[in-house]
Amino acid sequence: MTLIRERFAAACDPFSELDPSEKPPIPFVWKRPGEIVKNPQFITGGATRTDICQGDLGDCWLLAAIASLTLKEKTLARVVPQDQNFGPGYAGIFHFQFWQHNEWLDIVIDDRLPTFKDRLVFLHSSEHNEFWSALLEKAYAKLNGSYEALKGGSTLEAMEDFTGGVGEMYEVKKAPENFYEILGKALERGSLVGCSIDTSSAAESEARTPFGLIKGHAYSVTGIDEVSYRGRKVQLVRPRNPWGQVEWNGRWSDNSPEWQSVSPSEQKRLCQTVLDDGEFWYGTPLKNKYADENQYSLKADPFTASDVPVDPSYVLLHIGLSVRFLVYTFWTNPQIRLHLTEKDDGNDECTFIAALMQKNRRKLRKLGAEMLTIGYAIYESPSKDGHLNKDFFRYHPSKARSKTYINLREVSDRVKLPPGDYVIVPSTFEPHQEADFCLRIFSEKKAITENVDGNIDINLPEPPKPTTPQQETEEEKQFRALFEQVAGEDMEITAEELEYVLNAVLKKTNTIAFEKGVYLKFDSDKSGTMSSYELRSALTAAGFQLNNYLLQLIVLRYSDDQFRIDFDDFLNCLIRLENANRASLPSLSESMDPALLFCYEHKAIRSRGGSTNFAAPKQSPLNCRRAQKSSRAAAQKPPWRQERWSCRRIAAAGHGLPPHSECRPKHLLGKLVPGAGPDKKNSMWG
């Protein structure tokens, strides 16, 4: 359980913390419940859907999910702990729990709420002294960064945050014939259900239809039932408007003549009332005039969830349904292997739900981040292990894919495939976009998942043993003489002198011919630079099989703004990888933190004065001895030859970006990348 505590001071304006992007449209006054009413209560007479009344914030999608949540007592008790009140022990704070990316977070807030003329501005209860729903909305706003971030969304998103389940979305006109039965089973097993009418343009949003329904508005579905009407059974659905008013006025609405043909006992069983409370029965055939889109969230109970923690991953590239040339970059996306071994009962195929979720986009909206258009494709996996290359995707079509690439937080689909091994490749639709993501698999029977890119394997020949002076060749003796000539009596050289010696040696020996050959092989356009998309293949050819996490660090460290890597940086990368693998540290193939490779870089910088300015980090065991040696040598040399070592930290936190700007790649300076930061931790697939 992760605890998120309120960080802003009690005296500051919470709106500046919860909505930093714009000023309130009206002069809010932040008040505690005890300052609004004389006898505030957390919950009065139980939490019910009538406690959900929308205010001035456009978050009907959230309110519809909360209304559905009140129908599930156990689920509600987890999200809204019931042992809170304004009685003895009241401290002015409340806490709520939400699911986020495979963990439950405990969100703690103070109880000051935005008011105008002593009325709550946003979500409120029909009981003026009841505050659980308003405080829940504030906690959810904190989870997502601001009240402003809650404007517009999908009911499915909030439903998943309340349950931790995976969601499915149905478009009614394309729904299966047994759609009504699907709704019934979903409600029976505790799923939350919502519906809405799709809009064709922004101008239609919140537009009222002739029969009282609101386009682009989220409704919760609180029940379904059948009623006897003139000798036949009529299927009814009961939506609820989170406004607490404005209802359907067509067939089977509160005042419709159809109810006159239904017995009073049947009306009582269905809780039929003539009240403008936002809840109504709807009896029009679903296939004809019901909402274009119905969505519901499945809790994980009836499925087997498969969540394997792997390294953080980017979704960088895309594949188009007909754009075949993008196969050259699509293969570099993360790949997750899925083993389907058990068939469904009474079926020769295996059923599972694949749900791809992009993380923290709503929270980062204030930084300009929007929901990206995402999706995934599923391929039958060959027997060989490892990352599938571009040739595989060029000649093998997908076995299944998400129904659409769409800019929602999550894309999920129910898939049926024969038993076997498959690879799921998530991606964005547009190229060169980044998204921190989470992929979940829910299956009817047991399924095994693993990250294709999780292993690190380095296969290098043993380095030659140093020869003794007596065994040196004539060429090696010349190199030793060159070193002694440059080093002088102290037998030590500076970084600049080392560069001179190395250049002289390389001109004679050409010992980097292999590395140069690898680089030229993957410089496909002969431009003198290599695309970072080819980096995985180039490193594999050089003997390094790395995972996505480490590859991302290398790209961030060495590529330019066009994701290109020149030969010098490629060679530097190979040397760093080889040295780390040969050092007296755990092998890269073991459980070593890849960030250790790129945590510290030491560079000789000309000293401005005669004294030595030495700053060597204690955390760098590889360079500690070297730095101490340079410090002693600097004191014996004239000022013009003195140098100082400066530490430039490359951290693998969050998206792998360094926390200090001086060590970021040049193309990232001054550019704030979502999710970066020294304290951010990622889990699961992403």
| DSSP, res 465 | P
510 counts as catalytic: no
Coil/strand/helix, residue 94: strand
Catalytic, out of 53, 101, 144, 241: 241
The amino acid occupying position 635 is A
Tokens 């292993």: give the residue: 455
Query: Can you list the pairs that 620-624 forms with residues at least 24 positions away whose Cβ atoms lie under 8 Å?
Result: 620/647, 621/585, 622/579, 622/580, 622/583, 622/585
Three-state DSSP class for 545?
strand
Nearest to 313 by CA among 438, 431, 143, 467: 438
Q: Is 217 left (phi over 0), alpha (psi -120 to 50) or beta?
A: beta
φ and ψ of 217, to 5 deg: -105, 140
Q: What is the 3-state secondary structure (H, E, C) of 148-206?
A: HHHCCCCHHHHHHHHHCCEEEEEEHHHCCCCHHHHHHHHHHCCCEEEEECCCCCHHHCC
Residue pointed to by tokens 């009907």:
60
Establish whether 455 is a catalytic residue. Answer: no
User: Considering 60, 195, 599, 647, which one is annotated as catalytic?
Assistant: 60
Cα(13)–Cα(11) distance, rounded to whole angstroms?
7
Q: Which position has the token pair 């999780």?
A: 454
Tokens coding 475: 């060429």
Residue for token digits 């919502």? 194
Alpha helix positions (H), 529-681: 535-541, 548-558, 567-582, 621-635
60 given a catalytic annotation:
yes
Candidates 124, 217, 387, 655; catalytic one:
217
Which residues are catalytic, by number?
60, 217, 241
